[in-house]
Amino acid sequence: MITVTIAGSSIEVAAGTTMQHICDENDTPVTFGCRAARCGACMIKVMSGADNLSPAEPDERAVLDVLAMSPDCRLACQTTVHGAVTIEVAD
Ligand code: FES
């Protein structure tokens, strides 16, 4: 199991779990819209452990290039967790 910390709350999950599943199964402040790398509603800011996330695919990268306010941002609906990570909801 690995620890994912979202807005100060620590959640234990199995490696390979999607961030979307983690948020759906727990009370987190991350919100979702399209769930398909189109709207940017699920944008998160990675505070630590960025290397423990799946790499951004072209669809996610295209949204981040337009909407992300920081290079530390990712889309929760497109991200899989492979190690400890700490995230906050992006502004
Ligand atoms: S929910 Fe729309 S981009 Fe993730």
Q: What pLDDT was estimated at residue 35? A: 98
Q: Name all residues whose Cβ lies below 6 A of ligand 1.
A: 32-35, 37-42, 63, 75, 77
Q: What pLDDT was estimated at residue 91? A: 73
The number of residues in the chain equals 91
Q: Mind listing the pLDDT tens digit of every residue in the chain (91 residues)?
A: 999 999 999 999 999 999 999 999 999 999 999 999 999 999 999 999 999 999 999 999 999 999 988 999 999 999 999 999 999 998 7
For residue 35, the CA-to-ligand 1 centroid distance in Å is: 4
* φ, ψ at 67 (rounded to 5°): -105, -25
Q: What is the pTM of this model?
A: 0.95
- Return the ∠ at Cα 85 (arms to 47 and 12), rounded to 5°: 140
User: CA 43, CA 69: separation in Å to the nearest integer?
Assistant: 10
Instruction: Name the architecture of domain 2-89.
Output: Roll (3.10)
Q: What pLDDT was estimated at residue 48? A: 98
For residue 12, the CA-to-ligand 1 centroid distance in Å is: 23
Per-residue 3-state assignment (H helix, E strand, C coil) for the chain: CEEEEECCEEEEECCCEEHHHHHHHCCCCCCCCCCCCCCCCCEEEEEECHHHECCCCHHHHHHHHHHCCCCCEEEHHHCEECCCEEEEECC
Domain boundaries, the chain: 2-89
